[in-house]
Amino acid sequence: MTGGADAHQGLLISGRFPELEDALCERIAQLKRDDALAPLTVVVGSAAVRTRVGDLVVRRLGAVANLTVATLGRLAADLVAAERGAPPVVLGGLAR
């Protein structure tokens, strides 16, 4: 898959959680260094990890402008909504 001129390649980093957390914070700081207001999305696997990553970033980097931590499901729903121009249909409580 190819990206445009402004696309950033991801990095593959493996290790224990503290090492991964350090690497994630360093990468976010690196990407935000040139333009602190540039949008940046971190995609995670679950809502629990989303909360943990959000807390981690605030604790280590302070407030980070225009950073979104999203689950893969939420990212997919947002992309569908952007393409359709309308939010996705959500079933009411009774139907759920």
Task: Return the biggest CA–CA distance within the chain.
Answer: 48
Quote the percentage of the chain above a pLDDT of 90: 50
pLDDT over 60 at 87, yes or no: yes
* Residue 93 domain-assigned (yes or no): no
Both tokens of 87, joined, read: 């939010």
In a domain, 2, yes or no: no
Where b means 16+ CB within 10 Å and e means fewer, 14-24 reads eeeeeeebeeb
pLDDT digits (tens, 9 = 90+) for 52-81: 999 999 999 988 899 999 999 989 888 888
> What CA–CA distances, in Å, run from 4 to 7, 16, 46, 67, 88?
5, 33, 28, 20, 28
Number of structural domains in the chain? 1
CA 45 from centre of chain? 10
Q: Which domain holds residue 52?
A: 17-84
